[in-house]
Structure 1
Amino acid sequence: MSGRLIAIGDIHGFNEPLRTLIDEIAPTPEDVIVTLGDYVDRGPDSKGVIDTLIELSQKTQLIPLIGNHEEMMLNVIEGEQSHHGWLRYGGVETLDSYAFDGEMDFLPPEHVEFFNSLADFFVQDNYFFTHAAYDPSLDFSQQPVELLRWHSLRAGIPDPHVSGKIAVVGHTASDDGTILDVGHLVCLDTNCYGGGFLTAMEMQSRQVWQATPDGQFVR
């Protein structure tokens, strides 16, 4: 018997609601859990989030995707871009969670391994998953990174993908903490860092789990 296919929206350093959702979901080794990126920045415990995801990967089939905030952080660490933009968009909180002492090798080895494992997209059954958006006319392997990691749905919701599969994304936070579902696209960024919820969804049944930023389960 196959397991569940579950997606979790943008976490942004909020470890308490993440742990709450994991407890409620009760993952099994047969389940596939796709995390949609943006694990770090803005919230109080980015390091704890990565620890929790590494722990989760030992219990279930975890597919962690990369978000634009991981891209910013890794580019700064690798010296490929200035730190100014990253710090302005939540990098200070991430550095605090790692007890940053001025050295750029602040990530523990197991966290480096985790970040190196992040994928741009994942496809299973009638769904495909990525952080932000996609080009509806291009094969998954040909998608521009800019669209996958950075495109805001406020600038336009892409048409259905040529594959006919349903897109499951994050990145564009809903102002009121609700799930955006337009049929061919579901967005699970329900604005946890802005006072909304952290959301998980089982794709086949559309069962939803949500928790508040302080870790209270809501449904």
Structure 2
Amino acid sequence: MSRTLVIGDIHGGLRALEQVLERAHVTPADKIIFLGDFVDGWNDTPHVVDFLIALDKTHDCIFIKGNHEEMVLQWLSEGHDNEEWRLHGGQSTVDVYEAIHDEIKNRHIDFLSRLNDYHLDERNRLFVHAGFTNQKGVEFEYFRGMFCWDRTLWEAALSMDNTLSRKDLFYPKRMALYEEIFIGHTPVTRIGYSVPVNRANVWNLDTGAAFKGRLTIMDVDTKEFWQSKPLPELYPNERGRN
């Protein structure tokens, strides 16, 4: 039986990715939606990209662009660099790519250039890395960078009265457009959680794999989920992101 599975922010943690795919018993019959931020953090960033490129050949995958993919692509393809990016996981990426051949780098540039801004499925469920701001929906977003960077969608969901229905006058219009919205970008560990968090019709799958948390994969229909070990246990000789 096929499933639709969604995976939160990986941040270079290949060992965690391999672990959750195994724990969820993922098969080629399943559709896998990656919510972005595959890169930056732990030192397996290029190996994660290689793994995803290979996985796409054997499985039904949808890859969504995160803000870290945007920054890594700018660095790899244009040489654009900034200290803030390096401080938030980019330094590990710079260090490990020193040993990567140009042919492989070009293959990674091609992959990162083809990522989706968002995915809207046949059941009106939206998958996006961060959020969006236009009340008419993602198709009308003026500032496409919001798909990678916005945090106001999650803030709005957290502040809502959970008794409101999507038809209520006070339900945020942009959220009411969709049956469900699945995001990453803002770790739920910031509000004291270690598992996926649902507020209103928004599900946040970033369970802190960039830091001391775990990587999560979830069945979109049943909401059953599987998690890796905490990333520091899988990478005991690294610090990850600070």
User: Which interval holds the TM-score relative to the shorter structure?
Assistant: 0.7 to 0.9
When the two chains are superposed, the root-mean-square deviation of aligned CA atoms in Å is 2.5
Identity of aligned residues (%): 28
Distance 2:99 2:84 in 1: 18
What residue in structure 2 maps to residue 181 of structure 1? 198
Change in Cα spacing, 1:97 to 1:81, as seen in structure 2 (3 Å) is closer
1:133 aligns with 2:131: yes
Aligned with 1:109 (options 94, 106, 111): 106
Which AA in structure 2 matches 1:209? W
Structure 1 residue 182, shift from structure 2 partner = 0.9
1:33 maps to 32
Give the secondary structure class of the aligned counterpart of 1:167.
strand
Decide whether aligned partners of structure 1 residues 82 and 215 sit closer, same or farther in structure 2, where only a CA change above 3 A counts: closer
> What is the identity, as a one-letter code, of the residue corresponding to 2:6?
A
After superposition, the C-alpha distances for 1:6-46 in whole angstroms (9 at most, x for unaligned) are: 11000001110100111223333332111011111111211
Secondary structure, aligned partner of 2:75: helix
CA distance in 2, matches of 1:108, 1:76: 11
TM-score using structure 1 length: 0.86
Whichever residue aligns with residue 170 of structure 1, its letter is G
- 1:163 aligns with one of 177, 191, 202: 177
Say which one has the larger Rg: 2
What secondary structure is seen at the aligned counterpart in 2 of 1:145? coil
Q: Which runs of 5+ in 2 are unaligned?
A: 158-171, 236-242
Unaligned runs of 5+ in 1: none
Amino acid at match of 2:197: L
State the alpha-carbon separation in 1 of the partners of residues 25 and 110 from structure 2. Answer: 25
Q: Considering fraction of residues, name the structure with more helix.
A: 2
Retained in 1: the 8 A contact 2:66–2:129? yes
- After superposition, the C-alpha distances for 1:50-81 in whole angstroms (9 at most, x for unaligned) are 12212221221110100001111222334374
Query: May I ask how many residue pairs the two structures share in their alignment?
Result: 213
Counterpart Cα distance in 2 of 1:147 and 1:116: 17
Structure 1 residues 199 and 153: alpha-carbon distance in aligned structure 2, compared to 1, 3 A threshold: farther
- 1:75 and 2:74 aligned: yes
One-letter code of the match for 1:119?
N
1:57 equivalent in structure 2: 56
